[in-house]
Chain A
Amino acid sequence: MATKSILNESRQIERAVALIHLGARLQVLESETKLSYERLLRLYKEVAGRSPSKGQLPFSTDWFLTWQPNIHASLFLNIYEYLGKVSALEDIDAVMKAYKLYLEQIASCDVEPLLSITRAWRLVKFVDNQMLTMTRCSRCGGHFVTEPYENARNYLCGLCEPPARAGKSALTGGIMVH
């Protein structure tokens, strides 16, 4: 790729700005654009008006398998895969579009968006690397994020068979069972 292309660079900056607006961590920007760390840092401060959060990204797949996050992650991934099937988008563009559609959908259900853009991006990477996959629920037929070795024949999703303590949280904006 021609690294000196101004047009290409402007596209990279545009993408980085869009990601910062969605609340992406600096590591996402570093991985998805070809801009240098210093430039990204400056861009981040300029767009977000503050320094980026420090520290490592969450690296575990467990979060996506707990009840409430799993529902959010499954909704996002279903939208992402849909977009991937109907159009030839670059991965990161598909992640951004799917994330926006996810936010819309969540807002229409009066639920707080639990999935951040960084988590969503991470989820796609986990699926690409076969650390997570989607399994079809044997009751409702919906596809949900699971471990790759989930028993597909007896799998029931968290919405058909919510665990005993699910949805009891007193926090507002969570997914409720009753």
Chain B
Amino acid sequence: MTNEQILSEIREANLTYLMLAQNLIRSDRAEALFRLGMSEESADLVANLSPAQILKIASGNMLLCKFRVDDDIVWNLLTNHTTRKVNNDATTRLHASILMSGKFAEAM
């Protein structure tokens, strides 16, 4: 991957992310906050961006969306790396969902 390619891919990911976030927030705010894991303030900012602003923000050298899983337990559950008492794929994913929705509620 050349440097130029990297930059254009980042730009594309940013654009997709911002447009999706904006759509979600505009169609249903509460649901969007849950799906995006975003604070209310950031959601307001994103919702009010104009297309020109989105373009401008998207073209930088940094990704705008952050990694949501910052926890070993959740990560292990999602990737199913550890053999535990429960080793059914669907069930561990369910467990991860419970942890993730709980974690973010805690952080607010």
Contacts and interface: CB of A to CB of B under 8 A. Distances in A.
Interface of A: 71, 74-75, 78-79, 81-83, 85-87, 89, 94, 97, 100-101, 105-106, 108-111, 140-144, 159-162, 167, 175-178
A178 B66 CA distance: 33
A46 B88 CA distance: 42
Given A79-B34, A81-B105, A85-B105, A177 B86 contact: yes
Interface of B: 28-31, 33-34, 39-40, 73, 84-88, 90-91, 93-95, 97-99, 101-105, 108
Given A109-B94, A178-B87, A140 B73 contact: yes
A167 B90 CA distance: 12
Contacts of A85: 105, 108
A78 B85 CA distance: 23
Given A83-B34, A101-B34, A159-B91, A109 B97 contact: yes
Contacts of A159: 86, 91, 94-95, 98
A111 B84 CA distance: 20
